Structure 1
């Protein structure tokens, strides 16, 4: 079906461009199986350490790799950019991302209000009031930008979110 669509698009472009001398069409596809490490480090990891509605995901009682009780998602708290443990945090978050359908990523659904029936319970309660929450959107954007290499040139495009605007 996809190749038939491409053939139809190509045929339409060739027929429509008959009067032009040169036609260059570039349609990027988001088909990679990696997520951007730079974008994670700049725009996603800080969300896990910031105070959202009075709580921090990386708190010792939540998802702290050393003492947290927050299920399988464990991260090192408050890392500086360049800390070698940042890669461990990246892989932990990546393992809860659904690359085929970002909206069905456990990383987004667990803390989302009203998604209990989909994922079960999030012991930390509802963090994101809805899908319009700035932190939810930042994480979703990171999951949506799939690349072939986690250090791809397509990475480094995110804008850090004001964490104080997140949550309830």
Structure 2
């Protein structure tokens, strides 16, 4: 064994000892993870805690009153150039070809009868319509329309919107529908399918009732 080889081996053993000692001294589980052999490796399993508490918005109202807005031809103003497009259009929020950030819309999503016992929460949550609901709710601060990006972005209120100005009139009927949805979450302790949210329609029927607004 040459001198250089013995020197390199001693340096390697010394470094390994320092790393192992550092992990023990600092008490860092991330130094090697449980059962890991590499002292510089990340923990092998990372678990995120599930959400706890909080209210949810009405799926029934979203499906009947909000989702159609994303499919409607709306006037848009981008730097003074006025045209029409849909939120679900290609290059906007289409779930496959959209470039509009995390908010995505499946334009072909079909409505489900929420009053049909066969449409259990599990069935609905596996649907394309629920994907739209879930994505839209992710752009919302529940109970606070004025701070929800589903409203502030298309109005270009303190935040940029690549799709331009959509709602230049604060009394736009579509704007009012979204505002009402955000302002009326399901009762605390109930999920997004709560029958109590049917009073958001007149009469209180999610299949035939008119969508209430502020």
- Taking structure 2 as the reference length, the TM-score comes to 0.55
Counterpart of 1:48 (choices 66, 70, 78) is: 70
Provide the rounded CA distance (Å) in 1 between the counterparts of 2:195 and 2:55: 15
Equivalent positions of 1:41-120 (< 5 A) are 41-53=63-75, 54-82=84-112, 84-113=127-156, 115=157, 118-119=158-159
Larger Rg: 1 or 2? 2
Quick check: which one's strand share is greater?
A: 2
- Taking structure 1 as the reference length, the TM-score comes to 0.70
Count residues in correspondence: 127
State the Cα distance separating 1:100 from its structure 2 match. Answer: 4.3
Native 8 Å contact 1:49 1:78 kept in 2: no
Provide the rounded CA distance (Å) in 1 between the counterparts of 2:148 and 2:108: 23
Aligned equivalent of 2:172 = 133
Higher RCO (CA 8 Å, separation ≥ 6 residues): 1
Partner SS for 1:34: coil
Native 8 Å contact 2:110 2:128 kept in 1: no
